[in-house]
Structure 1
């Protein structure tokens, strides 16, 4: 149900089809120094998943990657955990007016999770502003749509589409995201802020987790921007 990835870090993977292509999605669960749980990109809260989370601790914070990624089931966590705080990426409150958010995330982490988790707002794109996270205890960077990682473990159709979008076997966004950057200098600065973290593992928004060598993989995947 939950896979332990590192010190106080677990993941849960579930299927996701986008225009008929299976890309999957990954939820990350981080246990804070306080004992509470920080859930990024929440999955559908099934009874089995709820029981697995209860074994780890109390769900305290639930966060998305962006207004497009990782918010679909947040209402289930609000209903299940009355004291939970729902965190919003920039632009998400307008998209999910049905939810009450406790905080809109920026570049500065809240002190309640800041000892364990850092965050960067990746901006400069026309329509996607994403929050990237760094889990210090496990040296893990956690991304959303700015970090697909489709490789040989995926179905043939998914691999073919990834090749066409120039993101096969690399930690990278699809080609259409690259083509719609509004401010390249701002976007580049955001990616450099992510690369300033001391991470080894990368959890992508979609695809295969990079267990080691993650920083090099991001540098290679973003060579088109950083060179």
Structure 2
């Protein structure tokens, strides 16, 4: 259920269909050096996944990428792990009034996970702010919808759509996201902050993980910002 990518870093891929197209979605799990698990973009908490998480530690934090990405199953984690804290991306509390959030995410990581994880709020889009995360020990960048990366292993229909959206074998957001950026300089500054991290691996919100060469992949995927 959980595929180990590095020391204290795992991923879990699950199916996600949008408008009839299989996009898939990736959950990232990080074991903090202080103990406990930081779960980003939580997947459906099946009995098998819950058992796999329990083998690796106590779930302490459950984080989305944005108000759209990575919140669908947070209520399951709140029930299964009552001591875990639910973290909110900007706008998520209004979107999910059924949940009680313990912390609002922004540019500054909480001291409880800051030794392992840095974060940047990617701003400048008309209606969406996304959190990018950097797992420092494994040099891994974790993205959401700002980081599609559809590759050759995807179904034919998905690959054709990805080409039209300009995210086939490229790390970045789909073209309609680019067209709805309201403040290009703020968005550009956010991506520069992400690129300042010393990452090599990239875990996208949808598609295939870039195991090495991730810095170059992000530079090339966002060359339209230049």
Q: Specify the TM-score bucket, using the shorter chain as the normaliser.
A: over 0.9
Give 1:87's aligned residue.
87
Displacement, 1:137? 1.0
**Cα offsets for 1:124-159 (capped at 9, x unmatched):** 000110000000111000000000000111000000
Say yes or no: does 1:101 pair with 2:101. Answer: yes
Give 1:202's aligned residue.
202
Displacement, 1:197? 0.4
Displacement, 1:28? 0.2
Following TM superposition, where does structure 1 have runs of at least 4 consecutive aligned residues deviating by more than 3 angstroms?
A: none
In 2: Cα distance, 1:128 partner to 1:208 partner: 23
Give 1:33's aligned residue.
33
- Unmatched 5+ residue regions in structure 2? none
Give 1:110's aligned residue.
110
**Cα offsets for 1:74-129 (capped at 9, x unmatched):** 00000001100000000000000100000000111000000000000000000110
Normalised by the length of structure 2, the TM-score is: 0.99
- Unmatched 5+ residue regions in structure 1? none
Give 1:224's aligned residue.
224
Say yes or no: does 1:156 pair with 2:161. Answer: no
Question: What is the number of residues matched between the two proteins?
Answer: 226
- 2:90 is paired with a residue whose SS is coil
**Cα offsets for 1:17-41 (capped at 9, x unmatched):** 0100000000000000111000000
Aligned pairs (5 A) from 1:34-183: 34-183=34-183
Normalised by the length of structure 1, the TM-score is: 0.99
Instruction: Give the aligned CA root-mean-square deviation in angstroms.
Output: 0.5
In 2: Cα distance, 1:47 partner to 1:152 partner: 31
